């Protein structure tokens, strides 16, 4: 099967961590014997400012860990204004790539604008909704709602990364939606000896270590995390945060004000994130909204208890008290007590860690996800073939 992936974001030398989850799924499909290529839209950017210089320097053709990528450029204004018109800008370039690669199926990641692009070219299409493209973006402007509906109603098949996102998609446009959970890469995320991981990272052996990985955004609940950690001073918590974002300076100031030892580690590659999780007592994600965050899948594969907000698809993969702990978003008291229960070795924590690892190994890997996508792709191709035969027969 030849699969052309249309992502909104994808790794490059200039932005190596961007869309890494799409790369891992593509590699898992390749490992199952399929020919996979990527066609991505890159902002047509003036070479001014660090962000735009990085976009401008992305080549039109490159390769990432064995996956070939072609980049086409379009004018993408800030704040997603006019995003629904991007498919018109790249229509001819997409047609050219389809003629060159001759895919059996197009797989669009995100409803807007990749989903719109995928459904306009007469090739069997599978559109995957990931999160904010289903529960946020369409409600910001009528044009984006029309774009989301176009992708949903015209795709051959639609998938969502969680049951929560499935319901969000169906609230936009009624149709059948398959749920395929995100995953983690087993090559990087696996159980590690906590003491060895701490020694390798130069971390103290006797501290209560709370870990977080993700974008440094207010919506990720990081201020609530610092408030909860400040209330646990008797446990001397060390908060380790991997990631980048606009709240970095403010988080440093808040931690200093509240007397919390916070270490901002910047963006880490996947092996270092896995080592970070391995060194910690608990992984936390006190977000206000999510689809199905990869960090949860990865932490569970590492055999670590996760304390996370009961939002989006997280309650679908964490069973409270069995494979992790769920708290209400924004509830600092609940977060504090859940973190406290993970301090120090205990039979309860060890049981959660074992259950998390077992569930993730069976359900939350890209190998498992790729097998599910493979079935949906085959069904999309067969559906289009049946429709074509019916039209010919009539």
- Kindly report the three-state secondary structure assignment for every residue of the chain: CEEEEEECCCCCCCCCCCCHHHHHHHHHHHHCCCEEEEEEEEECCCCCCHHHHHHHHCCCEEEECCEEEEEEEECCCHHHCCHHHHHHHHHHHHHHHHHHHCCCEEEEECHHHHHHHHCCCCCCEEEEECCHHHHCHHHCCHHHHHHHHHHHHHCCEEEECCHHHHHHHHHHCCCCCEECCCCECCCCCCCCCHHHHHHHHCCCCCCEEEEEECCCCHHHCHHHHHHHHHCCHHHCEEEEEECCCCCHHHHHHHHHHHCCEEEECCCCCHHHHHHHHHHCCEEEECCCCCCCCHHHHHHHHCCCCEEEECCCCHHHHCCECCCEEEECCCCHHHHHHHHHCCCCCCHHHHHHHHHHHHHHHHHCEHHHHHHHHHHHHHHHHHHHHHHHHHHHHC
Calculate the CA 169 to chain-centre distance.
Answer: 17
pTM (2 d.p.): 0.92
Residue 188 lies in a domain: no
Q: Is residue 189 part of a domain?
A: no
Residue 292 domain-assigned (yes or no):
yes
Claim to verify: residue 13 and residue 64 sit in the same structural domain: yes
The position carrying tokens 């201020």 is 223
| Backbone dihedral region for residue 234 (phi beyond 0: left; psi -120 to 50: alpha; all else: beta) | alpha
Domain span at residue 373 reads: 2-183+367-393
Q: Flag whether 245 is in a domain.
A: yes
pLDDT at residue 394 is higher than 50:
no
Contact 133, 116 (CB under 8 A): no
User: Cβ distance 232 to 294 under 8 Å?
Assistant: no
Task: Quote the CA–CA distance of 355 and 351 in Å, as a whole number.
Answer: 6
CA distance 99 to 3: 13
Among the residue ranges 120-129, 174-183, 202-211, 377-386, the one predicted with the least confidence is: 377-386
- Please indicate, yes or no, whether residues 222 and 332 belong to a single structural domain of this protein: yes
Residue 348 maps to a domain: yes
pLDDT digits (tens, 9 = 90+) for 321-358: 999 999 999 999 999 999 999 998 899 999 999 999 99
Angstrom distance (rounded) from CA 31 to CA 206: 41
Q: Are 81 and 32 in contact (CB under 8 A)?
A: no
Render pLDDT for 67-79 as a digit per residue (tens, 0 to 9): 999 999 998 877 8
C-alpha 78, offset from chain centre:
22
d(CA 364, CA 353): 15
Q: What is the pLDDT of residue 312?
A: 96
pLDDT confidence tier of residue 46, bands split at 50, 70 and 90: low
Do 179 and 205 belong to one domain? no
Is the same domain home to 306 and 164? no
Note whether residue 276 is domain-resident: yes
45 and 143 in a single domain? The answer is: yes
**Number of domains, the chain:** 2
Q: What is the pLDDT of residue 48?
A: 67
- Residue 140 sits in the same domain as residue 25: yes
Q: Tell me the pLDDT tens digit for each residue of 206-221.
A: 999 999 999 999 999 9
Give yes or no: residues 355 and 373 share one domain: no
Q: Are residues 289 and 378 in the same domain?
A: no
* Residue 316, domain member (yes or no): yes
In a domain, 60, yes or no: yes
- Cα 223 from Cα 305, distance rounded (Å): 21
Whole-number Å distance between alpha carbons of 379 and 107: 13
Regarding whether 219 and 133 lie in a shared domain, the answer is: no
Do 39 and 178 belong to one domain? yes
* Average pLDDT of span 189-197: 97
The pLDDT > 90 percentage for the chain reads: 89
CA 124 to each of CA 26, 346, 382: distance values in angstroms, whole numbers, following the listed order = 18, 52, 9
Look up residue 277 and give its two tokens.
């999780």
For the cut 50, the answer to whether the pLDDT of residue 251 exceeds it is yes
Residues 377 and 317 in one domain: no
Nearest alpha carbon to residue 107 among 386, 388, 375, 314: 375
Question: Who contacts 157 (Cβ-Cβ below 8 Å, separation ≥6)?
Answer: 125, 126, 127, 178, 376, 379, 380, 383
Q: Is the pLDDT of residue 258 over 50?
A: yes
pLDDT at 384 over 80: no
Omega within 30 of 0 (cis) for the link into 166? no
| The pLDDT value given to residue 15 | 85
Q: Are strands 178-179 and 306-309 parallel, antiparallel or unpaired?
A: unpaired
pLDDT of residue 49: 72
Do 318 and 386 sit in the same domain of this protein?
no
Q: State pLDDT tens for residues 101-131.
A: 999 999 999 999 999 999 999 999 999 999 9
What's the CATH number where 318 sits? 3.40.50.2000
Cβ proximity of 134 and 111 under 8 Å? yes
Per-residue pLDDT, 257: 96
Token digits for 265? 């580690």
CA 159 to CA 178: how far, in whole Å?
Answer: 5
Average pLDDT, the chain: 94
């Amino acid at each position: 099967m030849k699969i052309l992936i249309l992502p909104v974001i994808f790794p490059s030398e200039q932005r190596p961590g961007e869309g890494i989850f799409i790369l891992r799924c593509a590699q898992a499909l390749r490992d199952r014997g399929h020919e996979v290529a990527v066609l991505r839209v890159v902002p047509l950017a003036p070479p001014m400012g660090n962000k735009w210089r990085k976009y401008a320097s992305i080549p039109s053709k490159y390769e990432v860990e064995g996956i070939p990528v072609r980049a086409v450029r379009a004018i993408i204004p800030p704040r997603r204004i006019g995003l629904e018109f991007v498919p018109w800008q790249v229509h001819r370039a997409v047609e050219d790539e389809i003629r060159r690669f001759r895919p059996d199926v197009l797989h669009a990641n995100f409803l807007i604008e990749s989903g719109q692009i995928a459904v306009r070219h007469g090739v069997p299409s599978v559109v995957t909704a990931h999160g904010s493209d289903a529960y946020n973006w369409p409600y910001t402007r009528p044009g984006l709602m029309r774009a989301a509906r176009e992708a949903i109603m015209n795709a051959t098949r639609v998938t969502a990364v969680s049951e929560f996102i499935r319901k969000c998609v169906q609230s936009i446009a009624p149709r059948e939606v398959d749920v395929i959970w995100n995953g983690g890469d087993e090559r990087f995320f696996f159980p590690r000896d906590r003491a060895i991981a701490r020694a390798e990272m130069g971390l103290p052996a006797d501290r209560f270590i709370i870990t977080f990985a993700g974008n440094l955004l207010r919506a990720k609940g990081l201020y609530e995390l610092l408030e909860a950690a400040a209330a646990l001073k008797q446990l001397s918590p060390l908060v380790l945060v991997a990631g980048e974002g606009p709240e970095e300076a403010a988080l440093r100031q808040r931690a200093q004000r509240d007397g919390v030892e916070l270490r901002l580690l910047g963006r880490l590659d996947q092996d270092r994130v896995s080592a970070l999780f391995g060194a910690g007592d608990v992984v936390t994600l006190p977000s206000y909204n999510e689809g199905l965050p990869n960090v949860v899948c990865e932490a569970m594969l590492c055999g670590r208890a996760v304390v996370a907000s009961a939002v989006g698809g997280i309650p679908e993969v964490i069973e409270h008290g069995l494979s992790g702990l769920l708290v209400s978003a924004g509830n600092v008291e609940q977060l504090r007590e859940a973190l406290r229960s993970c301090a120090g070795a205990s039979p309860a924590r060890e049981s959660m860690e074992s259950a998390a690892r077992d569930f993730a190994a069976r359900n939350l890997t890209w190998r498992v996800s790729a097998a599910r996508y493979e079935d949906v792709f085959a069904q999309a191709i067969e559906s289009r073939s049946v429709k074509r035969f019916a039209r010919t027969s009539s």
